[in-house]
């Protein structure tokens, strides 16, 4: 039984789901990888974006050329979160350069310790090393490390992103900042201006927090029922990341000038600075807000593309 769709929305088609490896991996891949993943013995980075392929992931140019029982991979990925701490990379690569761009893509599980792989750090504006560039130079990958059929990877990738966009961690992270902002204002001895700003900003943010939490719960419930949330995941991702940004902006305004100073001894101010500097990127990672609105318009509301 599917979830009840809001009036004016088309319900996402029902089918049994799970992570892409569970849905499309071979029996050998499942037997080998899933126990290791569950035991935290192996970790994966996501090799999606490239310098010339961000929102349009079908524009990837990293190549995997078949050579007997192996692929030879050459190319580059960028903004690869956690690659410097990961064992494997879930690599989106082009296996048929002559096919239409959505038709010639495959997904490979690549060992990041393979000869020819190099990882370079990208330091963000908050001074953190989370992102990386990953380069592949004649990297040999067994054909049996491919998940799904050759040249059918785009459809698996789209399905994977529906799971990634649940994003309940965004609401949880920003909720901690919300609660700390409330406590911060209550503890202020005689700052009438800060208290006034909080009374003006926090009630709306409290309402939005509950909305974001329920949107994330809906997606989690759909997944538990064997459904693929599509526009629903985009709705949760869009709302959660933009709320996270609004919450960071409100916290900066409540803290005032003190938030502009680097003070690691004050946990609240340190969190405010970190959230403010990193929250914008959350509306880009995993598909920009514009992409999410397009998905909601076409797949949720059934609006024409042009």
| Residues labelled as active-site residues | 164
CB–CB of 125/78 below 8 Å? no
Structure tokens at 295: 């998905």
DSSP assigned state of 298: I
- Whole-number Å distance between alpha carbons of 112 and 127: 24
* Cβ-Cβ contacts under 8 Å for 42 (sequence gap 6 or more): 33, 36, 87, 88
Structure tokens at 104: 């010639």
Quick one: which of 33, 159, 163, 46 has its CA closest to 93? Answer: 46
* Cβ-Cβ contacts under 8 Å for 240 (sequence gap 6 or more): 167, 168, 170, 171, 174, 212, 215, 216
Quick one: which of 110, 98, 111, 96 has its CA closest to 152? Answer: 96
């Amino acid at each position: 039984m599917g979830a009840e769709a809001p009036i004016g929305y088309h319900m996402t088609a029902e089918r049994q789901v799970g992570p892409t490896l569970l849905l499309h991996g071979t029996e050998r891949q499942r037997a080998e990888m899933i126990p290791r993943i569950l035991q935290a013995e192996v970790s994966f980075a996501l090799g999606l974006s490239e310098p010339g392929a961000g929102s349009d992931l079908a524009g990837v140019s990293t190549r995997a050329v078949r050579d007997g029982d192996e692929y030879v991979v050459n190319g580059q990925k960028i903004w690869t979160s956690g690659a410097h701490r990961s064992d494997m990379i879930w690599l989106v690569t082009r296996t048929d350069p002559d096919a239409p761009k959505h038709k010639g893509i495959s997904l490979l599980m690549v060992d990041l310790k393979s000869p020819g792989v190099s990882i370079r750090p990208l330091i963000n504006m908050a001074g953190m090393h989370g992102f990386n560039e990953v380069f592949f130079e004649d990297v040999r990958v067994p054909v049996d490390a491919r998940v799904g059929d050759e040249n059918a990877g785009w459809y698996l990738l789209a399905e994977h992103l529906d799971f990634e966009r649940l994003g309940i961690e965004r609401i949880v992270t920003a909720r901690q900042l919300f609660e700390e902002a409330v406590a911060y204002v209550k503890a202020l001895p005689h700052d009438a201006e800060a208290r006034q700003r909080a009374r003006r900003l926090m009630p709306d943010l409290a309402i939005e927090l509950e909305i974001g939490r329920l949107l994330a719960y809906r997606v989690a419930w759909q997944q538990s029922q064997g459904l693929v949330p599509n526009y629903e995941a985009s709705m949760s991702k869009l709302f959660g990341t933009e709320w996270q940004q609004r919450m960071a902006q409100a916290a900066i305004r409540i803290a005032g000038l003190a938030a502009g100073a680097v003070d690691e001894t004050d946990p609240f101010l340190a969190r405010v600075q970190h959230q403010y500097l990193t929250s914008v990127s959350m509306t880009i990672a995993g598909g920009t807000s514009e992409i999410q609105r397009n998905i909601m318009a076409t797949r949720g509301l059934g609006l024409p593309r042009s």
